[in-house]
Amino acid sequence: MLVNSNQKHAELIKTEAKRLGFLSCGISKAEFLEEEAPRLESWLNKNMNGEMGYMQNHFDKRLDPTKLVDDAKSVVSLLLNYYPHEEQANNTFKISKYAYGHDYHHVIKSKLKELQEFISEEIGEVGGRAFVDSAPVLDKAWAAKSGLGWIGKHSNLLTQQVGSFYFIAELIIDLELEYDAPVTDHCGTCTACIDACPTEAIVDPYIVDGSKCISYFTIELKNEIPTSVKGQFDDWIFGCDVCQDVCPWNRFSKPHKEPLFNPHPELLEMSKQDWKEITEDVFRKVFQKSAVKRTKFSGLKRNISFLD
């Protein structure tokens, strides 16, 4: 009977996740991530987090969900597609596709809240927390453990059916469920992402030196961008999609169905000259609800000037 209820509850949650627009949903047991612990420690010891000091905080919590949610039993991992219907022109300054529309934190948080309410209504009093890239949770590791894909050589989660252009979120809850099994790695001998990285940030298969990544320089770095990487940014001014764009699995990407992820009409029309002349008013109008706000107007101007 217990096994049946675990299975039934897992199916209920997955069905509702699909109804809410999530691409897929996988469930894993909330336990210490033994395999990830030495990898994370080694990555931090080599200072691959650069100036992202927050990555060194809460080491134990990153690896153990029971330290984030009392009596945690299950990690429900969810994927939400953001692959756009239209992309920016080829001859302009580029921003990462995930930032085209509304800030994903807000979009996903409201969906997770609905899912939590559904669980309480249908299953009963279930304690837990929702996470969207805003707490010490190893999203990709949990998604892989939940069978939603494998972590590719570019360190992003990959699936055979839809590639990698999606957000990952979690519900960590104190309800025991039926758990999914991980899938196998399908990168094979391909090194497209490693070969294409403009700053050679993928230092080994499956290891990305965050302090060399264009996304780090254009979003996380608060100081001046070092001149040693000048001429290597390939017109990226916020984030970078190169390793995903060249991945063969992303030929299966399909446009999202979330209206809030559609870009501001002016964004797709902006030329390099428009970017260079962008005013704070235009920045506020075009990126009012976008993740691009993270770099602030001054940060975006810095990134644009660096490419001149």
Model confidence at 1, pLDDT cuts 50, 70, 90, reads very low
Contacts of 4 (CB under 8 A, 6+ apart): none
Rounded-to-integer distance, Cα 146 and Cα 129, Å: 17
pLDDT of residue 256: 97
Taking the C-alpha atoms of residue 173 and residue 30, their distance in angstroms, rounded to an integer, is 8
Candidates 147, 162, 163; CA nearest to 76 is: 147
Q: CA nearest 303: which of 292, 288, 289?
A: 292
Q: Write down the pLDDT at residue 108.
A: 97
Q: Give pLDDT, residue 3.
A: 56
Kind plus residue range of the DSSP H or E element containing 238? strand 236-238
Residue 144 has pLDDT above 50, yes or no: yes
Tell me the C-alpha to C-alpha distance, in Å, between residue 298 and each of 98, 278, 280: 21, 11, 9
Q: What per-residue confidence (pLDDT) applies to 133? A: 84
Rounded average pLDDT over 285-293: 94
Mean of all residue pLDDT scores within the chain: 95
pLDDT at 135 over 90: no
At 51, the pLDDT band (50, 70, 90 cuts) reads confident
The tokens for 1 are 């009977």
Q: pLDDT, tens digit, for every residue of 19-32?
A: 999 999 999 999 99
Give the pair of three-digit tokens for residue 48: 């691959």
Over 60: is that where the pLDDT of 289 sits? yes
Q: What tokens were used for 62?
A: 């990153």
Q: Which residue has the higher pLDDT, 39 or 51?
A: 39
What percent of the chain clears pLDDT 70, i.e. is strictly above it? 99
Instruction: Give pLDDT, residue 52.
Output: 85
Q: Which residues are catalytic?
A: 133
Give pLDDT, residue 104: 95
Confidence of residue 136 (pLDDT cuts 50, 70, 90): confident
Q: How confident is the model at residue 4 (pLDDT cuts 50, 70, 90)?
A: confident
pLDDT of 195 > 80? The answer is: yes
Average pLDDT over residues 134-138: 85
- For the residues 65-76, what does the mean pLDDT come to? 96
> How many CB atoms neighbour CB 180 within 10 A?
18
Q: Which amino acid type is present at position 64?
A: D
- The token duo for 209 is 């030196």
Residue 237 pLDDT > 90:
yes
What whole-number percentage of the chain has pLDDT above 90? 91
Whether the pLDDT of residue 170 is over 70: the answer is: yes
**Which residue, among 131, 125, 109, has the nearest Cα to 58 in the 3D structure?**
131
Spatial contact of 164 and 134, defined as CB atoms under 8 Å apart: no
Phi and psi at residue 106, to the nearest 5°: -70, -40
pTM assigned to the model: 0.94
Per-residue pLDDT tens for 93-107? Answer: 999 999 999 999 999
